[in-house]
Each structure stands twice: as structure tokens, then as C-alpha cells.
Amino acid sequence: MAYLQLNNIRKSFGEVHVIRGVNLEIRQGEFIVFVGPSGCGKSTMLRLIAGLEGITSGGLTLDGRDITNLPSGERDLAMVFQSYALYPHMSVYDNMSFALKLAKVPRDEIRQKVERAAQQLNLTSYLQRTPRELSGGQRQRVAIGRAIVRSPKVFLFDEPLSNLDAALRGNTRVEIHKLHASLGATTIYVTHDQVEAMTLADRVVVFKDGVIEQVGTPLELYDRPANQFVAQFIGMPSMNMVAANAIPGFSARSGGRLPVDGFLGVRPEGLRVQAGSGTGEPGRVDLIEALGADTLIHVDVGGVPLIARQNERTPLHAGDVVRVELDASQLHLFNREGRAVAHPTTAA
């Protein structure tokens, strides 16, 4: 049974339709990630759930209660913003306890909740510091702690890691994952970073132009994308996409299943690049990205740019003439409209 239910949610700003009829059921305790490119409506959808924007039409139900028209403070939700939104003149303790003080929670209960949250977030030794005395990652943990002490029914995260450097993003992502596991709280997390989506989510919701393109577990979206947009948005590097008539040798490997006006998709790991003559299609190396554990080989095949990924290092260099082989068991096939018509036989 759905814990949080979105029923045909729509949001318009004048003549501009930002959310175009979103239906979604979220189970209690799930970690849901909204992902999509800039302007797709994911942050607006989060603000509608939070009550920071009014819904044009549709309904929201939380734990059996209609919250569609309730003010934000009465929805039993807590939001963590991208910008931290901490009070600079207050200590960490005061920032984390502020909402509880406004709610006139007893002082001893406030202290217990703040100390418990500080311990979970490794902030105990920083409770008397002000935000300017903290690192970016510590400030973000304070913002998370401020949400935790309220014990909300749903946590809402709006791109909370985007202001952090790459290393700190990775560390904080792990902390958020561990925190969710320990709290078991229902969480909705917005990001444009599909790596965050893949590593954090129980289920990923892919948005485009105000509608949901697909909902599924990270590996469901990776293995069985519903359309070309999801196929190329999920996965890094993105899926190679080849028009049916662009590389005849590749199209022939589909066994006649590829629509004549459709598209063939293959993940970078489904291509193999080798020097010299042999089987496969002739091509030329454009770029080698040596990443250590992986190597990305950018290759041109008949004017079509492709990326191959292999887990060993390569002696190839830019300009080398090569042969590109395709693993036929790794083919995704799409029709002219971009809808998936077949997936790899090895996909889960």
C-alpha cells in the first residue's frame, strides 16, 4: 500500500506547464530518487510535495491523510536544501533545535534529540560552533540533523551535494546512505547526477519535460530502459545510439529484430576495440581516456562516434586504425519514436 501517493499532479505558471500529470506511489521506508536534466520538473515536484508551491490540480496523500492543501508546516515533512539554509549567528546546537523550540518541545526532549542526531552525524564535538567554523560537508550534516530531530514522516532532499567537491560528495553520499539505513525513514532525493541516483535509490524516477519517463530500480533502468532518453541518461558514459542504416554490419547483428527506421543501442562495455585486421567494423581511434581501473576508447566507425569501455589498459593511440566488434547479446533496440522494442538477452 502506498505511504505517499501522488495523484495526477499538475503545476502551471500561467501558460507554462511545468508538471504535466504525475502519478506515483511511494512505499514507507523507501529511498526514492528524482533524476533528470535541468528544467525537467524534479525540483518543482519536490516543492509541491513539501508545500512550498501550490498544486494546480491533482492530489497528495500521506499515510492515508490528504495533504494537498495543507500548509508546509502541517505536512509532517522535513526538507534539506541545496544551500544548507543555516542561521549564521546560531550555534550548531541552536540551528538543529530551532524548529523544536518553535514547536515548544520540552527542553530536555530537545537536548536528547539533538544529541542523538549529532552522534549519528559525527557532530557532537561541533555543537557549540557556528556555521562559518565548519566545512561544507559539516554544514550539510547540520542541515540533515536539523531535519532528523523533527522525526518527520518523509525526508526531502533537494540536490544536497551539489555544492560539495567531488571527494566530499562521495563521502557524504555514503553517509546519507548509512543514515537512511539506520533511520528507515521514507526519503525523496532530487539530483541531476545519475551516479547519485544509481548508488542511493531503492527506486529511481526519471523526469523529462514535467512527466515521468520511467520508474524502477537502478539496475532495471540500466538493463531495460523504456526509451532512448532513459537509455542515454542512465549510465556513464551514456549508451551508444546508432541509426538502423548508419552501420549495416551492426544492424545485421540484431537478427532482423531492428526496425528499419529505428535505432540500435549498446552500452560502452558491449563494444570491443582491437588493432589491425580481423572481424568487426573498421574504425579509427579519436581519443583514449585512461582512468586506471577502466579505459574509455572513443572511436569513429563510418562517421558514427562510439565509446567503448574495457577494464584493462590499451596500447592503442589516437589515430590508430582498428576493428570494432559488437556483442550481439548486449543490444537494445528502439523504434522510430524512441520506444524500446527489445533488450539484451543477458539483462536481469
What does R_g of the chain's alpha carbons equal in angstroms?
24
10 vs 166, higher pLDDT: 10
Stated pTM of the model? 0.91
Task: Quote the cell numbers at residue 200.
Answer: 542511493
The answer to whether domain 4-223 and domain 237-342 are alike in fold is no
The residues facing 91 across adjacent strands are: none
How confident is the prediction for the chain on average, in pLDDT? 93
Distance CA 292, CA 137 (A): 27
Distance CA 149, CA 115 (A): 9
What percentage of the chain reaches a pLDDT higher than 70? 99
Tell which CATH classification among 2.40.170.20, 2.102.10.10, 2.40.50.140, 3.40.1190.20 matches the domain 237-342.
2.40.50.140
Cα–Cα distance list, 101 to 50, 54, 184 (Å): 21, 27, 25
CB of 285 within 8 A of CB of 275? no
Return the SS3 of 294: coil
CB of 250 within 8 A of CB of 263? no
- What average pLDDT does the segment 202-227 reach? 97
Closest CA to 153 of 176, 187, 125, 124: 187
Whether the pLDDT of residue 312 is over 70: the answer is: yes
Tell me the domain boundaries of the chain.
4-223, 237-342
Tell me the CATH number for domain 4-223: 3.40.50.300
At 136-166, the pLDDT tens digits run 888 988 999 999 999 899 999 998 888 777 7
